Amino acid sequence: MASSKQQMHVLAVDDNSVDRAVISRILRSSKHKVTAVDSAQRALDLLGLESDVNMIITDYWMPDMTGFDLLKRVKGSSALKEIPVVIMSSENVPSRINRCLEEGAEDFLLKPVRPSDVSRLCSRMMMR
């Protein structure tokens, strides 16, 4: 039985509609609340309004503003910096991964994202 403490509100950011559907379903099947948006700008707009987002999971490569840019904006904001940010990417580039982690990303997931990756992540989040 999931208590309200167990449920997170996750903001999923991905310009690819298929990936957005997949990450949303993965999170929802673990009973989390999901808001899915298709750009970093929309994510920032939403974060500006809603304060109950517990975690952000974002694609790296997006047109206009990348996931890395979003990460920097979140970590650079006093209102948002405590929110863990997870980056997803289909490319395994160690220097990119390191840069994200150094910038404060919680984790880096390789696509295709597996349900097991996400549940490991969420367990860790909820143990804080």
Partner 1 sequence: MEYSNLKRQATSMKQNLFDQGYLDEQFYQLEELQDDVSPNFVEEVVSLFFKDSSRLMANIEQALENNPRDFNKLDSYMQQFKGSSSSIGASKLKSECIQFHEKCGEENIEGCTRSFQKVKREHGILKKKLEAYFQLMRQVGPGDRATCSSN
Task: Tell me if 124 contacts partner 1 by CB under 8 A.
Answer: no
The C-alpha atoms of residue 22 and residue 105 are separated, in whole angstroms, by 21
Answer for which of 16, 41, 66, 77 binds partner 1 (CB under 8 A) is 16
Task: Tell me if 115 contacts partner 1 by CB under 8 A.
Answer: yes
Residues in region 59-88 near partner 1 by CB under 8 A: 61
| Nearest Cα residue to 7 out of 121, 119, 126, 127 | 126
Residues in region 18-57 near partner 1 by CB under 8 A: 18-19, 21-22, 25-26, 28-29
Residues within the interface to partner 1 (CB under 8 A) = 16-19, 21-22, 25-26, 28-29, 61, 90, 111-115
